[in-house]
């Protein structure tokens, strides 16, 4: 067992082993950085997509509100035409009743 421990110490003390460990550690760090960057870019992409969807939603709402306003104006105009028609019918009835007497 002592021989195994001594062999391990001698291997880990070598410059070659320490360089391999340094490179392995750097590779893990670089991989973690790359994953972090990828997640950050994905997050920014989704934020952009969400902002675009919100803008589209706002434009659709504005269009809908304009259509409702236009519809309300058409209804008001229709109601005025009906009132004018009813007034004309009343006037014609009055004339007919006046002519029949």
Question: Does the pLDDT value for residue 13 go beyond 90?
Answer: no
With CA atoms as reference, report the closest residue to 13 among 23, 1, 24, 5: 5
- pLDDT score of 77: 98
The number of angstroms, rounded, from the C-alpha of 18 to the middle of its chain's C-alpha atoms is: 50
Residue 79, pLDDT > 90, answer yes
Q: What is the pLDDT of residue 14?
A: 80
| Cα 66 from Cα 71, distance rounded (Å) | 8
Mean pLDDT calculated for residue range 9-14: 77
Query: Mean per-residue pLDDT for 11-37?
Result: 90
Contact 11, 17 (CB under 8 A): yes
> Residues 4, 8, 14, 20: what is their CA dihedral angle, to the nearest 10 degrees?
140
What is the reported pLDDT for 4? 79
d(CA 44, CA 38): 10
**Whole-number pLDDT of residue 7:** 73
Question: How confident is the prediction for the chain on average, in pLDDT?
Answer: 92
């Amino acid at each position: 067992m002592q021989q195994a421990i001594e062999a391990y110490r001698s291997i880990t003390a070598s410059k070659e082993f320490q360089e391999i460990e340094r490179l392995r550690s750097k590779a893990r760090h670089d991989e973690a950085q790359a994953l972090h960057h990828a997640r950050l870019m994905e997050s920014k992409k989704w934020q952009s997509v969400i902002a675009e969807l919100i803008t589209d939603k706002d434009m659709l709402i504005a269009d809908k509100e304009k259509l409702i306003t236009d519809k309300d104006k058409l209804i008001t105009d229709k109601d005025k035409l009906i009132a004018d028609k009813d007034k004309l019918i009343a006037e014609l009835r009055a004339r007919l009743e006046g002519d029949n007497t």
